[in-house]
Amino acid sequence: MYRSVCLLLLAWVVAMLVFPGVPARSGDSFSKDNITVRQGGSAVLRCSVDSKVSRVAWLNRTTILFAGEEKWSLDPRVILLDTVQTEYSIKIENVDLQDEGPYVCSILSDKLPKSTKVHLIVQVPAKIVNISTDITVNEGSNVTLMCLAIGRPDASIIWKHRSSSGVPTSRFITEGEYVEITAITKEQSGVYECMSTNYVSAPDVKIVRVTVNYPPVISRARNSLIGVGQRGMLQCEASAVPLADFEWYKEDRKLLNGPNGVKIENKGKQSMLSFFNVSEEDYGNYTCVAMNTMGITNASIILYGPGMHDMIDINSAVSHLPSYLLLMTLVTAYFLKF
């Protein structure tokens, strides 16, 4: 008998849901409510009743979840809450997308049906599902970065750039799934941060590292004053990606490590030419050559002694360039290694 009444209630609710044009009878009551819950959370669907209620049931679309205190649903996540007599509520645990949709609390009171319709909305936190891999390109290339995200409501995406120059701050670049960089420069290398959010939970953040290859640029090459018999050093510093290889020349003669009381030591982007005991023969013009697969450059450094100030411009960092023949020989020999 009870199941027959519930089936009649179900038929009435289905008619209201499927055929919205069917007019409600005089005395029928149909209220609506929306509940929003995050995926994985719990949703409580509430229904108010009174002492005149003779039959009550919860339905999801065309499926009876509970009829009175009898559970019809096979889903263990759906439970009937033990609440006060004026409330007939259910709880859905670990909510997922398939739980979204209309729920109806159908009540038979004094032989007149009334219902409460609850529409459950499931929100999904933004999640990045595809992003460009780390890349290495040559300066002047065109670069496209991609970042795809899902979520409900739809996720928005912003890009930030954190330069490889050591500055810790991030700079806003653009919004949207793609970043287009035309003729990339070395200043545009570094970390590109994709941040996706729909305000359901904390933003999802992933990064792409962009390495830009560029030819050496010598940033430090100063003339040096060293007295006879003293120890001394000439320094040459070059920024480059990949790191530069260094060679030292005096006039057009390549210097080797060890002989004639000199030592060549390369550390990262620095090269140091050390003298253990400076002699008159050591004075003169030295050329620091920096090279990588992207190109080659050089700077001239003068080693001089006391009393030689008037002979040179001590502030000059490029007072002599190697001969054209020497430069061409260096370029050819370096690239033949690859």
pLDDT in tens, 1-50: 444 544 544 454 444 333 333 333 333 445 578 999 999 999 999 988 87
> Any residues with CB less than 8 A from the CB of 329 and at least 6 apart, and which?
none
pTM: 0.73
CATH assignment, 132-213 = 2.60.40.10
State the average pLDDT over residues 234-240. 96
- AA identity, residue 98: Q
Q: Which residue from 272, 253, 270, 252 is spatially nearest to 262, judged by alpha carbons?
A: 272
Candidate from 71-75, 161-165, 251-255 with smallest mean pLDDT? 161-165
CA distance 208 to 180: 14
b (16+ CB within 10 A) / e for 130-164: ebbeeeeeebeeebebebbbbbbeebbbbbbbbbb
Alpha carbon distance, N-terminus to C-terminus of the chain: 90
Number of helices and strands in the chain (H, E): 2, 24
Q: Which residue has the tokens 């044009």?
A: 21
Could you tell me where in the chain the CATH 2.60.40.10 domains are found? 35-124, 132-213, 223-312
Give the domain 223-312 fold. Answer: Immunoglobulin-like (2.60.40)
* Higher per-residue confidence, 84 vs 293: 293
DSSP E strand stretches across 176-242? 178-181, 190-197, 204-221, 224-225, 232-241
pLDDT at 166 > cutoff 80: no
Query: Which CATH class, in words, describes the domain spanning 35-124?
Result: mainly beta
- 316 pLDDT tier (thresholds 50, 70, 90): very low
